Structure 1
Amino acid sequence: MRRLALVCCGLLSFVAACATGGGDGAAPGAAPGNTPADTNVGTGFVDVADLTDPPIPHHFTAPPKALEGRLALRANGCVTVVVDGVERMPLWPAGSEVVQESITPNRYAVTLPGGTRLVVSEATADTFTARGIVDDNPDPFEVEAGLPTKISTFLAFCGVTAAPVAFPDAATFTVRKT
């Protein structure tokens, strides 16, 4: 019962942070050093550093390969990518930021380490090529059965059913603006 209460409490805190865009600079479950200092940035995204805190082995084990993608935006504010016609949740390079730039129209910017920016709105979406890894493991992102991690909580909130895709190296991105 205690574990269920902790899971529910964690999920509600995460959803509230996503919905309000609020962040405290050290979101629970965020890997050290990957949460921007800007307190206006929420925890509404995951990056590859989230695979290490807590350690989640056996996911994304294939070597990275060249992928072509397009940003997409869900009604709940989740920024996704479409790779080979399949919508996937991205794990951005460590140190990336995803920020809502405007509400009307909804517009989000993904800023990668090194300054590369990708932008998506209700009307337009940048396309890109980058080296990435589509997850090859159907197991949940859990350290202990039934105890969600930041990644599993975020995947559940966004509701994308296809396997996520990780982009470990920001230097491999080439962006085509729309």
Structure 2
Amino acid sequence: MSSVTIETLGITLPNIKQFMQAPAPTSHAWVYEGPKFNATVFGIRGNEERIPLHDHPGLCGFVKITSFSTKLRAAPPEGGIVEALFEGQRQLTPEDQAVHLIPGNGNIHEIRALVPATYFFDVLIPGYRSDGCGYYALSEPDAGLPPPNTPTLLRRIAAPAEHTTLTIPYTPVDRL
């Protein structure tokens, strides 16, 4: 997982000028989709644009930055209450190992680009389900981010209207 690059996946990314002019802040290419796992490449268009705070209920995830760098904020859920422990932020680059997110440890997370045209490889285990993901916001957004390892109240919200994604043309792997 940690040695995955855009080149090893054989994906032709849009050039930076095309990507920066795209109508959506994020793009994706399905690499593989199956009942045991899903693999996707995501791109975030601009500096400080993001994939909003969201979860993948019951799934484990691996995130590998393939170009430039991102900031990952993670907060695991605690029971049925939307209270989470804010673990802090980590800046990740292609040189870093893949990050492992599991239920109860980093499953509620946000990925924010630190430079334009940032891409990452994402694997979810088991495969993505129809119940999808939920989106969250800090219950007191004006207070800013809490210190690391601080219990934090999150409010579940509808998918943010500005979170739209374009498809990168790619022929997914049909079997392993």
> Shorter chain as normaliser: what TM range?
under 0.3
The structure in which a higher percent of residues are strand is 2
The structure in which a higher percent of residues are helix is 1
TM-score, structure 2 as length reference: 0.22
